[in-house]
Structure 1
């Protein structure tokens, strides 16, 4: 059994602040995501905003897990068939592209980690549907979070929704515990069986961040050691929130004025437990 940290009241306050700041970076960068901009320029703008405006530290910059080279940029920009960890650079985004921006800031030692999908100009019907289904997958997973539930409940509902739509779930990457450490226990799988894996307890904080492919779930790693693409070159989408297990349900910590609201069916099903997730 893995050891999952239970956060103190002070930790939770710190994580609320970091989560809001992480979400506010995504709010800030939204108007800049348009045809003709490079992913490197998006990175530069986010980096300057974090450091100069927020007084936060970009967590990915020089992040170096065992076996990896240090990540060279402040954010991840995953375009079209990139599943995750796309490194910003000279790539110019164009009309019809879809891109995920994954932002993690550190404030007073605490990490706020979230990502959103963005359409560049007018997306294809396929891209729009994939992004919407992936968003619903994330929220369906979040809606299962409460004391006494299990991590397998989260993975199961995500896998069921994605596969029912004809899509596949990437299995090599998952959500993770987070706090003063960027990645800690538990691993939050986006597939699985209800009632399995660790039991959730109030005070746990972790991310829910399903990566859903339009085609098969198989992936390939690029030569830079970070960028992950779909093996069949199909589109991939991802959404991410950082979530606290509360005494009665959950609280989404990565919330800002521009955070997209939960899907209507989640609000209807969750009632009061979801109320905090919609407050800016």
Structure 2
């Protein structure tokens, strides 16, 4: 590991330590990493980290946990304040009222929201904060619109992201597949995943952008079971209040949307409310 050639002052060390923790969420970091990097005594680094810990907690940036033992160290758990949560959800709900969002089949156009890097990062962080104590081993989604959110959540949880395909290629090698019923026309489709994508016994968080009929989500749960893995959480960005399917257990949605007809203006509109994520 590279070390600093010049001795750094305490305020310089604190800036680096703060930045390192923020960019390495949910990662076990040994005290020796910082002491070796700065060529400083561990006692001095411990004082620096205690200072950073206090600032992080006071400003609701997150918590730095200490893990005891030979293999111990520190883990930064991000936080997301109630104030920031309210601001984020208000902004998203406002943007849902803008532009043409209602698509054929009662789907909702969300791509512009999840393509906004600032919004995407904040949505992912909000989701990750809720699930970061669940000891998740992988974040799973199905191609294609939920991939960006899946990757961003996985980054904050410091675990791999896994993308289920609707059709495999030679690059995937041997796969496991399941059939599922999707869409308003109840069409039977297939999803598949490379056999090496998930280790048996893994705890999985499923992420997707939109939940309507629920058939795709049930298919993902069934596929995860085929890998002898456990779904410990399901979270979608937006769910439609119009659904007709067997219940999906223990899922969260950030927003619920409903398509309603405005008689005065003779057009359909999108109404939204906070989802089960906040219950």
Q: Is the pair's TM-score, using the shorter chain for normalization, greater than 0.5?
A: no
More strand as a share of residues: 2
Bigger RCO of structures 1 and 2 (CA < 8 A, at least 6 apart):
1
More helix as a share of residues: 2
Scaled by the length of structure 1, what TM-score is found?
0.26
Which of the pair has more CA radius of gyration? 2
